Structure 1
């Protein structure tokens, strides 16, 4: 089995390598190719990757290359984890929206739109090259904004599934609180990427007992603390929202906070410098503890499960993925990309049935789906008017004066990445 990671020079990659090494019985990778144009980073990450494999007794071959076509040739699956513009672009995404009184964040709001505009054309070009080289390869997208990028891939006819680590993080957290193993916990997870709610926590599988009320009753304070939301809100909603919902439920509070502290991008950039120095140590042969603070927790386990399911090797029977709606949520278009539990096999994911969704959540999903549709159109066609419309449609913007100011700033900060600007 050959897997290729595009963006393999990312500081995330050792997390992925560790999962491939530990879970080799689930996903027996014979050749792993790390593709990245940043040769110096790739050399550091590749060296650590080989040492991790050696330490854990994995006899798979790890190849590093900047040649995308060679890297994806013959791959059974291609994982995308790239960041167009790097941390410098993220720093901008998190900064200029604050000038208009809006959330500055890399995956939602105006910053998320900027990232989508930079990313969609690049990902589609990569996917076309994968299809020319190996049309049967699955594309697993971990590149944000996952919902919009996955929709672009599926709309273009690619064999693609989107992956996020939010659900597996909740699963691990809840399992720990309940004193269970993660495989004993099944989430009723519903929404769009970075706009999801845990509406049930079931024991053993989708038909198991729902212990969410008990979980909230006994551990609501701890869960609310992790989300930086009031315990009373969780009790009133009766669900656990993704931490990304704080940008919607406490928008003004978040904007005030973001204006008084260094950006997350600055923190991550400093962390990446330290990680890369550590990766260069020839004695290091395991992922460092610092990597857990970088983000992407449990990404490797989710990726192994998904790849194993798509390639017919097993994995968990049900997995949270980003895939086409196709009637699963009747209030959204069939071609919307939703994030739900699905049965995953070689033919792709099949979403499980979802109980009726509370209008409080369904309404916000419908609004953001409309924004994502406009965002994808702007990414594919370009133009100031389409960018303005997408921003006006976003519930974190929604006022024409804000949308005008944000449009000007988005274009000014992203000209080098926008062919039409």
Structure 2
């Protein structure tokens, strides 16, 4: 039992440093060489009993040569062995057909060599093409010889029949193995391609809205759209710079990831569009790429839920965490810029004012502009802050968003 296990272990062993293509056929090649050694040995014995001494000697020599090819495979010269076994097959096809004709069917192994050559990862594509051509030529040459010249020593009819059946069945089985191997390779490649496609689609949709990503794939030119009415939110972690000075990089990034992952879940749940993060700043928009009438309400709900999520994170981590949020509504231009590391972004005064609403706000509060307050109507609780100076805009009336009136709450997509 121990000897059998050692033999099986030897057949299944594949060196770890082999490239993927060679590793796939390494164990199969060892099995194939071993079977071919035995088959040629048995065939040599049969030829010897039938008085075909030349063929018996050649086939026996072929068995020894195949053993050497197996040695080349195991000890790092698989290409040499592959070319030698192909050469022996090509010569053998013509020699056997010349001696005993076409009836035993040995010429069929020319087809086997022809279709097996592309499977070898041990030789170059050019060598594969040469060997394929040589096997095809040997196959055609054997047919021409068999049809035009009488055999030197024809076998008894019963042995012609036996060899024809065995060789025909063997050829069919080997060709079927090739077909199944190719089919498996195609299935694996298609599955890998589908997986990579899903990954790339997911990555692209994380970078920009799916509708914009689809447009970019169909027409990779400049994408720029005007949107008459959207609402933009900026959020910033209060005291993040001081926190960064007191924390290790790993701790800091882990904390940011935890907070922003919570925000991402909220954005997805409310069907909004995250635009980007810059350091500890978080930017979201509602109302694009598809317009929606409740864009201001949706962003307001997000802001309130972000406040709750930040409080939960502070309790769980023991960190002194607060965010400052700014919101403004108005027109923007949205588009994709760049050819490398491209990004979907927004431009216009609305973006600048929303950023000012955040930067001029207060810790733990949501500051909104008068434009956004007008869109929210009576559905939310607002606390007037008064006018503040906004660069490039002068004095602007602002409010603090403090809550939502539950009785008037509607679905974020505008359904009752």
* TM-score, length-scaled by structure 2: 0.23
Larger of the two Rg values belongs to structure: 2
Greater per-residue helix proportion: 2
